Amino acid sequence: MNQVATRLRGQDFLAVRDLPPADLEGLLQMAVRLKSGADPGTPLQRRSIAMVFLRPSNRTRVSFEAAINRLGGHPIALFDREIELGRRESVADVGRILDRFVDGLVARIPSQRDLLGLAASMTGPVINAMTDQGHPCQILADCLTVQEAAGHLAGARVTFVGDGNNVCASWIEAAHVADLDLRVVTPPGYGPAESVLAGASAPGLEGRGTVLVTTDLDRGLLDTEVIYTDVWTSMGQEDQHEDRRQDFGPYQINEGVLRRAPRGIKVMHCLPAHRGEEITDSVIDGPQSIVFDQAENRYWVQLALLAAIYGSDLS
């Protein structure tokens, strides 16, 4: 068993900043090997994994279910009506009960506080599949995609254009873990919170990576290798949609923006895309887009993550 699998075995995965740089690198190496055809075995044989989805899901649910099945396990999807987390039962009680039935939990839920409550009440591993404060599995896939596209990860120049949301927060954490040159470009008033910037770097990561926060798109595009965007209006912000359309309009990723960017730029989007808002059809379907490679990589990194947590013999 390789070293990253040894260190991650039985562990929670709640945030990108929880991964030491060597473990992130090791996970990505595992994902590359799996994508190339390596056999992870069946470390989840005769095991069940609960999947709590209190937010709509497409890529997250399908990629995790496929990965759990590939490793020999049985996924059990639970939705808001069945679980009513914190309403029908307390978060702690839900965690304690699930812990008696299953061997781990994948949680896509609105509240980071509830995620931490579930992790505290369970002995089995808990994986963060998205909360209001982070989307770490998405960022693992994004790091693999950047590595594939740029030929390297450390030092890669990535420009995030959009809202200072949960995806942005996890990118900021990844900048320190993976030693990235990250530029965050947002309209005035939509940048990441100071607490996100201050809390992104775990002890021992000081001096790794850089994060530039700016409202100047051209400054963010300077010598970058990847432009990354996300929806302007996230779930729960629907009442702000029209205001956000106006505020974010100048930050749309379109052919004009690509002409202002370095030649050979690659374009990423975590999906789902609101075509015609944050990105145009001609860009997302164009030759510089690696959006659907990025989506596929959700499966490979989550397969590697589960294999490491549950003790695959892949070496």
Tens of pLDDT, residues 254-292: 999 999 999 999 999 999 999 999 999 999 999 999 999
Which tokens is 224 given?
A: 């970058």
Say if residue 1's pLDDT is above 60.
no
Radius of gyration, CA atoms only, the chain: 19
* Active-site choice (70, 230, 252, 294): 230
pTM for this structure? 0.95
Residue 172 lies in a domain: yes
Active site residue 241: no
Active site residue 138: yes
Residue 127 lies in a domain: yes
Domain shared by 287 and 303, yes or no: no
* Active-site choice (23, 59, 114, 138): 138
Which tokens is 105 given?
A: 């939990």
Give the integer Cα–Cα distance in Å for 71 and 30: 14
Average pLDDT estimate for 145-157: 97
Say if residue 2's pLDDT is above 70.
no
Say if residue 73's pLDDT is above 50.
yes
Active site residue 275: no
* Active-site choice (135, 157, 183, 269): 135
Any idea what DSSP says for residue 253? B
3-state secondary structure of 289: strand
Strand extents, DSSP E, the chain: 48-53, 74-79, 105-108, 126-130, 157-161, 181-185, 210-214, 226-229, 266-269
Other C-beta atoms closer than 10 Å to the C-beta of 282 total 12
* Active-site choice (108, 157, 176, 244): 108
Average pLDDT estimate for 192-199: 92
Active site residue 298: yes
Domain shared by 73 and 148, yes or no: no
Q: Is 236 exposed, middle or buried (0-12, 13-18, 19+ CB in 10 A)?
A: exposed
Residue 315 lies in a domain: no
Q: For residue 240, what are the domain limits?
A: 137-295
Which tokens is 170 given?
A: 């996890």
Active site residue 237: no
Residue 191 lies in a domain: yes
Give the integer Cα–Cα distance in Å for 248 and 233: 10
* Active-site choice (168, 270, 294, 302): 270
Query: What CATH number does the domain containing 31 carry?
Result: 3.40.50.1370
Q: How much is the pLDDT for 234?
A: 81
Domain shared by 142 and 72, yes or no: no
Give the integer Cα–Cα distance in Å for 105 and 309: 12
Domain shared by 171 and 282, yes or no: yes
Q: How much is the pLDDT for 207?
A: 82
The number of distinct structural domains making up the chain is: 2
